[in-house]
Chains A and B, each alone.
Chain A
Amino acid sequence: MTDPHRLTAPDGPADGAAEPVPPPRSPAGPERLDLPHEVLRSLLGAWALAACSTAETDAVEEHLGECGACADEARRLREAVGLLHRPESLEVDPTLRNRVLENCLRRRPPRVPVPDWAASYDAETARLDALLRDFGDAEWHTPVRLRWFESGVPATRRTTVAGVIAHLLSVDGMVATALGLEDPLTDTVAKAEPDVRGAAGPAGRTEAFWRASHFPQTRAVRARWRDQSHQLLRTVSFTGGAGGFPVSYGDFTLPLRDAMVDRAFECWVHADDIAKAVDYPYEPPAPRHLSRMIELAARMLPLAVAAHRGTSPPTTPGRSLRLEIEGAAGGQWLIPLDSPADPIPEHEVAHVALDGVEFCRLAAGHLTPEETTAGQRGDREAIRDVLTATASLSRM
């Protein structure tokens, strides 16, 4: 059992224990090493992994013909190498998480559930994290162009995949701060720009965060973002209540339950930006999460329409537009055109029908009103106003 020819070092990673044994090496070259037994024995692991020099390999193999104990160990170690296994990059079904968790919660109902208004944030952050899992440095530094609407026109900002995650970390930090958690901007930014804490909105915080790091953002930002999102979910589970707690976005305020849906929406939108940049497929949210995002946008539309119209007096007071969102996550809303107060159905002057994902892309500023495919009937100007107001909901 100590035939030295059967004990030659393998050639490198083998994908299974049944890999054929490579042919014996050529006989030792001119350079012969004379190593003591102890050193030869210490080399057995490296030898089995084909991780020593040619001269050392020859010296070990010569020794194995003479030393039964080392030959036995060499054989065991080489068999062990056959058990090493490159983790397959499994195509993990993204719906599995939800199925596994639901099964658990059915079998043992939670004493501290995640509030239903935070479920979309839970799902979307988990999906983005799974997308990032296998990213190498090349992906982390891939350029990404953020897009949104500002003062009625498209705006863009160039960053990287890691920069996008830093953006999500900075803005999620507004919710974290409102809940009394540590602000992720504190240590990085506060010293340089004390006024950025508190008052600054999403863009101000993000820019400050980016400016404060002397080097481009790296993959290290992922763990900070993920830890904070886990902390947020944990905290809202304990203290969220009905979600009425106000969260300041700088120039406006949302109740916590809406802020969490907004953050879920932003997480999806930016995950989609990242996926496009690195050429990965990325699905829209599950219908039950998408419908909450659509519902929030539709609810914010009346104020956006009023802001878009500005101070010009309404032509015919009391008009409304019927917004119909198609698909599993859809619904219908009457959007008042002249006053954010409740619309009167009789004064419905237009009807717009569009797909839920299309509506969200418009609301994210990723489509212009002109690019949006919508079924339209009625007052063209009213339709244009509402589509433009939808795009104006977007921000960096």
Chain B
Amino acid sequence: MPAKDVPPRWDRTMQQRLARGEAAALGELYDRFASLVQGLAHRVLSDDTAAAAVTRDVFAHVWEHPDTYDHRQGPLRTWIAATTQRLAVQKLRESETAALAGDSPAELAALESRVRHASVAARADYIVHSMPHPLRAALELAYFQRRDYRQAATDLGVTEDEARRRLRLGLQLLSTAHDMGAPPGLGGAR
């Protein structure tokens, strides 16, 4: 799971540095987000080469259009995750369409189903990456480290009530991945 949230000031400074055309800023951006981008792209495409191509396109987009990020809409991490999700699903649709033998309704429906399934998975990852850190941390403890909610409460230094609340709220947010369209309040990339 992702590291702690970075302060918004870092995001704005990074955007300004990219806009100024600082190559060193691009390198830093890559170092911070490449594993996020690759992971999301791979989740959608299940293919190293295709994920690498999406990674290339995501960073090219950010480098060429840093001004399209609006920090008031959310953290840079979220914007990059959204851009990745969009480009990866687009690539999946293209490659699946190209691989279609015919265009029977059954085949088209199967394609739509695969694309929808991948979109939901990508949206879920994206929601996990953009949800508030306390919720993410609680889910991480309960799911990946198999702590029960009482142990999680101790680990997080919160009450048991609060641990239960975080787990429930985190899953509620995550369940919106099944809804169509971009998650509310998280401005997509252009």
> Out of B20, B25, B149, B174, which one reaches A83, CB within 8 Å?
B174
Residues of the B chain whose Cβ atoms lie less than 8 Å from the Cβ of A107: 60, 63-64
A43 to B23: give the CA distance in the assembly, Å: 50
Contact A85 B42 (CB under 8 A): no
Residues of the A chain whose Cβ atoms lie less than 8 Å from the Cβ of B167: 45-46, 48-49, 51
Residue A32 lies at the interface, judged by CB distance under 8 Å to chain B: no
Contact A113 B23 (CB under 8 A): yes
Residues of the A chain whose Cβ atoms lie less than 8 Å from the Cβ of B35: 90, 92, 133
A31 to B139: give the CA distance in the assembly, Å: 28
Residue A332 lies at the interface, judged by CB distance under 8 Å to chain B: no
User: Which one of B23, B64, B161 has the greatest number of beta carbons of chain A within 10 Å?
Assistant: B23
CB interface residues, A 32-80, toward B, < 8 Å:
42-46, 48-49, 51-53, 76-77, 79-80
Contact B121 A126 (CB under 8 A): no
Residues of the B chain whose Cβ atoms lie less than 8 Å from the Cβ of A77: 168, 171-172, 175
- B-binding segment of A96-104, A296-304, A339-347, A362-370: A96-104
- B-binding segment of A159-167, A229-237, A378-386: A229-237
Residues of the A chain whose Cβ atoms lie less than 8 Å from the Cβ of B166: 45
CB interface residues, A 106-142, toward B, < 8 Å:
107-114, 122, 126, 129, 133
> Out of A48, A111, A129, which one reaches B21, CB within 8 Å?
A111
> Out of B21, B43, B143, B178, which one reaches A79, CB within 8 Å?
B178
- A-binding segment of B26-34, B71-79, B95-103, B181-189: B26-34
A44 to B142: give the CA distance in the assembly, Å: 13
> Out of A45, A88, A97, A230, which one reaches B24, CB within 8 Å?
A230
Residues of the A chain whose Cβ atoms lie less than 8 Å from the Cβ of B27: 97, 101, 114, 122, 126, 230, 233
A84 to B175: give the CA distance in the assembly, Å: 10
A270 to B27: give the CA distance in the assembly, Å: 22
Residue A87 lies at the interface, judged by CB distance under 8 Å to chain B: yes
Residue A287 lies at the interface, judged by CB distance under 8 Å to chain B: no
Residues of the B chain whose Cβ atoms lie less than 8 Å from the Cβ of A110: 21-23, 26
User: Which one of A91, A104, A113, A114 has the greatest number of beta carbons of chain B within 10 Å?
Assistant: A104
Residues of the A chain whose Cβ atoms lie less than 8 Å from the Cβ of B128: 84-85
| Interface residues of A, Cβ cutoff 8 Å to B | 12-13, 17, 42-46, 48-49, 51-53, 76-77, 79-81, 83-88, 90-93, 96-97, 99-101, 103-105, 107-114, 122, 126, 129, 133, 226, 230, 233-234, 237
Q: List 25 A-B contacts (CB under 8 A).
A: A13-B143, A42-B161, A43-B164, A46-B149, A46-B164, A46-B168, A48-B167, A80-B174, A83-B174, A85-B128, A87-B1, A88-B42, A100-B59, A103-B56, A104-B26, A105-B26, A110-B21, A110-B22, A110-B26, A111-B22, A112-B22, A113-B23, A126-B27, A230-B24, A230-B31
